[in-house]
Structure 1
Amino acid sequence: MKYRTIGTDPATRREVSVFALGAMLFGSRTDEKTSFALLDRYVEAGGTFIDTSDNYAFWEDGGQGGQSEELLGRWRRSRGIGDEIVIATKLGARPLAPGTSYVDNPEGLSAKVIRESAERSRERLGVAKLDLLYAHIDDPTVPLQETVEGFAALVGEGTVGLLGVSNQSAWRVDRARTLAAAAGLPGYEVLQYEHSYLRPRTDLPSGLFPDGTLGAVGPDMLGYLRAEPRLTLVAYSPLLKGAYVRPDRLQPDYDHPGTPARFTALQEVARETGATVNQVVLAWLLGGELPVIPLVGASSMAQLEENLAAVDLELTPEQRARLDAAH
């Protein structure tokens, strides 16, 4: 395994594995025995960065979520896991009532919700301190200053380490970080967005949230990350939910002339390296100019082993240039 540091403050920064394990469906679609086996193997391989959310996976049972955090809490206790494993969770997108969703009935990002939701996550996970806490979605109904101060208060009290943000536009992220810096408060240091080798169209509305902010990293966010090199991008859905081996699963916003060209380049490099297409995608993310940590889910041991092996795949400069140039 390889590692990188997230965060800049010596008091809160953490060293984590370059491959994060997504626990979204653990405790719901993926049963406890399988989930525990995958978590054990991940840690055995040197993995130290696990991702969940307080709303995972409400859509599986028509509830409000919490199954993933609860399972991770049981796993931690049964294995004697301490702070050597960094567990990231999120708040803001938990539905307020069973049968509703984050689209029409989200918990939001008020100071009250931030405090109460973080406390419930700590209880489910069985931890005194949340290693990394994300704002899962934007909440334009709450003043941004309130949200910034609500998250910062938890860091100041020692119940949260690092702060992160997901599924928000680049300008909103920048404004929140500017407000925090101006007040001398901790701000977002880790950004979690969909990011992969294939690129979606940018001329179509994307996303499931009302303001369309859920979707792949676009040019604005990539530019922001280049201008802020101390930030870390955690790339969710890097394998596009199996679309690299099942192209029929690609979403409509990937239907453009650049997709076949990039598929061709990807397959050529896979043949040259003897690796799978998925492994080449992960290696491309890991070795790029930006500090990217792929966040990959797994429902079987075979999937996990394939993903873990990508950490040691080194692309040549020529292969990377060819992949980058395809369009």
Structure 2
Amino acid sequence: MLDSFVAGGGVWLDTANCYSFWADPSGVGGASERLIGAWLRARPGARDAVRIATKVRQNPLVPHSWPDSAEGLSGRAVHAGVEESLDRLGVDHVDMLWAHAEDRAVPLEETVGAFGELVTKGTALRIGAANHAAWRVERARSLAREQGVEPWTALQLRHSLVQPRPLTPLPEAGHRMLTAEDMDLARSEGLTVWSYSALLWGAYVRADKPLPQAYDHLGTTRVLSVLDDMAGELSATRNQVVLAWLMRQGIDPIVGASRVEHVEQALAARQVALGDEHVARFAEAR
């Protein structure tokens, strides 16, 4: 799948030091980074073909004990987490380092300083905030300016075409939905926006992967009807239209895949000619 991704013009690999502690018998993360590291070692020149993004904050320090033992975002935890990630990946730097979620037990000044130090050292070329409230990101950027260090320049939040009912709690611990405030901040400050769970685990196209209960409302029904119409008009799959809809708004979707054909289909979404009128039709359906 990684070979197919690069062959198709894919560039960014987004992972995290905690992936996937919930499924690994060890009870801790690191498996995803080790796999990418093994792939890089087996493919001379692959490091120059890709950009690597990883995250710190959520890796359990005690096996099978999350979130109680999650590493957090103290200066010490950030530096230690990154060093361990570099070792697993077999690289001397990452192209993007994310703060995976907020850690309000640690002064924001400390976290900002640690991330800034990593950019100064060249360990991380860019830094961003995942699952953070917009006001926390703006506060962190202000603190970075005060400290004279690199600020967060990217946001990563959960977002897709269909939306859960307003104020409905998500069953996925730690997920934070993209809001209008996040987009306002991004546009005013020139931040890039990445969206995860963009395809909702295959729910748009797989009968065995139904949408979560939180998405069961009339707005979803209307949007899916428009999605079907649009997929037919554009000779594309539902997934490709969803990805094109995100990219049309300047949002970079993160796609998980389990087969080579999934990778190829996702990359083909870049050729789907979605226009402003299509975006407007989706907006009206909500």
Q: TM-score, normalised on structure 2? A: 0.94
1:208 positional shift: 4.3
1:257 positional shift: 2.1
Given the alignment, which residue of 59, 68, 73 partners 2:37? 73
Aligned to 1:131: 95
Measure the CA separation in 2 of the matches of 1:87 and 1:69: 10
Question: Is 2:201 the counterpart of 1:241?
Answer: yes
Listed as ranges, the matches of 1:118-197 within 5 Å are 118-197=82-161
Deviations 1:125-155 (A, max 9, x none): 1111111100001111000000000111111
Aligned to 1:7: none
Q: Greater shift after overlay, 215-224 or 83-92?
A: 215-224
Question: Is 2:251 the counterpart of 1:292?
Answer: yes
1:246 positional shift: 4.0
Which structure 1 segments of 5+ residues have no match? Answer: 1-37
Measure the CA separation in 2 of the matches of 1:271 and 1:48: 29
Contact 1:167 1:215 in 2 (8 A): yes
Question: Is 2:170 the counterpart of 1:206?
Answer: yes
One-letter code of the match for 2:28?
Q
Question: Is 2:183 the counterpart of 1:218?
Answer: no
**RMSD of aligned Cα (Å):** 1.6
One-letter code of the match for 1:145?
E
Measure the CA separation in 2 of the matches of 1:157 and 1:219: 34
> Greater relative contact order (Cα 8 A, min sep 6): structure 1 or 2?
1
Deviations 1:161-191 (A, max 9, x none): 1001111111111111111122221011111
Aligned to 1:313: 272
The change in CA–CA distance for 1:123 and 1:117 in structure 2 (over 3 A counts) is: same
One-letter code of the match for 2:118?
L
Measure the CA separation in 1 of the matches of 2:74 and 2:63: 21
Contact 1:200 1:216 in 2 (8 A): no
Measure the CA separation in 2 of the matches of 1:207 and 1:137: 16
Aligned to 1:304: 263
Which structure 2 segments of 5+ residues have no match? Answer: none
Question: Is 2:15 the counterpart of 1:56?
Answer: no
One-letter code of the match for 1:199?
Q
One-letter code of the match for 1:84?
A
Question: Is 2:4 the counterpart of 1:41?
Answer: yes
Identity rate, percent: 43
Aligned residues: 283
Given the alignment, which residue of 214, 231, 242 partners 2:191? 231
Measure the CA separation in 1 of the matches of 2:34 and 2:24: 15
- Structure that is richer in strand per residue: 1
1:100 positional shift: 1.4
The change in CA–CA distance for 1:234 and 1:147 in structure 2 (over 3 A counts) is: same
Aligned to 1:5: none
The change in CA–CA distance for 1:184 and 1:93 in structure 2 (over 3 A counts) is: same
Question: Is 2:49 the counterpart of 1:84?
Answer: yes
Deviations 1:179-221 (A, max 9, x none): 1122221011111111111122232233644xxx523212332
One-letter code of the match for 2:60?
P
Q: Secondary structure at 1:323's aligned position in 2?
A: helix
Q: TM-score, normalised on structure 1? A: 0.83
Question: Is 2:253 the counterpart of 1:253?
Answer: no
The change in CA–CA distance for 1:246 and 1:44 in structure 2 (over 3 A counts) is: closer
